Structure 1
Amino acid sequence: MIVLGLTGSIGMGKSTTARMFLEEGVPVHDSDAAVHRLYSGVAAPLIEARFPGTVVDGVVDRARLAKAVLGNPQAIAALEGIVHPLVRKDADDFVARNRAEGKNLVVLDIPLLFETGGMDRVDKIAVVTAPEEEQRHRVLARPGMTEEKFAAILARQVPDAEKRRRADFIVDTGNGMEPARAAVRAIVAALSPGETRSR
């Protein structure tokens, strides 16, 4: 079984691309969805213990948590120290389950794949990209997003050009849905049994 890591900077269209893999019948593990589950489950008491007042009725309040960690590298590192191992275990369980079911290909949707050193967890890497202006437009259109927040997020992410340089595959979402879908189908075909796995 081949494990494909799917990543990309904020606003590049990674979630849309992940859905395209699902539509092609490829199982996808969504790290963001895993975090949502963990925030209302095992992670909640751990986060409340470290960041008091961020959990409401047993569920992490993302707005309160953001206020507690934004612009504070030590707090962000502490939060990541709680969340990342839990997400990784969730992903490992997903891979093991699909391997046992005889799947040929699975996707791990990992927003911070390069930033967290996740390259060793995957066989191949697909990077989702878009022109810088398109990225900015998409991100600043999100509710509650500001230039300051956007800059803080970008500062913590490996630059898009570096991600593309290190990718095995690139999906450009800047030209619309159909070219992106064609790129996804090409990746699925390339990673089908019988194709080489060598980098």
Structure 2
Amino acid sequence: MIRIGLTGSIGMGKSTTAKMFAAEGVPVHDADATVHTLYAGRAAPLIEAAFPGTTVGGKVDRKRLSPHVLGNPEAMKRLEAIVHPLVRAEEQAFLDTARADRRRIVMMDIPLLFETGGDRRVEVSVVVSAAAEIQRQRVLARPDMTEERFEAILAKQMADAEKRRRAHFLIDTGMGMAPARRQVCAILKALAGCG
């Protein structure tokens, strides 16, 4: 089974690209979606214990959690120590199911693939990218996004040029949906997984 790691900086089109792989029949494990599920379930009491006042109705409230961890590397490490093992357990369950189903290719959508060493858990890395101006427009168009928050997120992420350098495959999402879809299928064909 070939494990593809999909990554890309904020606003580069990673989630949309993951859906394109899924449309081609590739099972996708989305780390961000897993975190959302954990924040509404198993992780909530653990996070509340570490960061009191950050949950509402048994779910983590990201707006309440954010001031505790943004710009605070020590607090971020504490949060990651709670969340990362839970995400990894979910990822392993996904891989076990895919293996049992005899899947030839699976995808793990991991936002900080290179930054966290996640690339060591996959055989192939795919990076989605676009021009910096396109990225900025996409991100600043999001609700509740500010220049300051965008810059803080970028500072935490590896530079796009370095991600591109490390990638086995690159998908340029700045040219629109149809070209990105063709690039997805070309990668799957190269990996002998596209019909």
TM-score of the superposed pair, with normalisation by structure 1: 0.95
Alignment of 1:78-157 (within 5 A): 78-157=78-157
Q: Which runs of 4 or more aligned residues in structure 1 lie more than 3 Å from their structure 2 counterparts after TM superposition?
A: none
Residue 40 of structure 1 aligns to which amino acid in structure 2? A
Q: CA deviation at 1:92?
A: 1.1
Q: CA deviation at 1:81?
A: 1.2
**Native 8 Å contact 1:105 1:192 kept in 2:** no
Structure 1: how far apart are the matches of 2:95 and 2:187? 19
Structure 2: how far apart are the matches of 1:119 and 1:186? 21
1:167-197 residue CA offsets vs partner (Å, 9 max, x unmatched): 000010000001100000011111126xxxx
1:20-60 residue CA offsets vs partner (Å, 9 max, x unmatched): 00111100001111001101111001100000000111100
Structure 2 counterpart SS, 1:3: strand
Structure 2: how far apart are the matches of 1:77 and 1:136? 27
Given the alignment of the two structures, is residue 62 of structure 1 paired with residue 62 of structure 2, yes or no? yes
Q: What is the aligned partner in structure 2 of residue 160 from structure 1?
A: 160
Structure 1 counterpart SS, 2:175: coil
TM-score of the superposed pair, with normalisation by structure 2: 0.97
Structure 1: how far apart are the matches of 2:88 and 2:171? 24
Structure 1: how far apart are the matches of 2:153 and 2:81? 18
For structure 2, list consecutive stretches of 5 or more residues without a partner in the other structure: none
Structure 2 counterpart SS, 1:25: coil
Root-mean-square deviation (CA, aligned residues, Å) is 0.8
Structure 2: how far apart are the matches of 1:48 and 1:68? 11
Structure 2 counterpart SS, 1:174: helix
Structure 2: how far apart are the matches of 1:24 and 1:136? 29
| Aligned pairs, number | 193
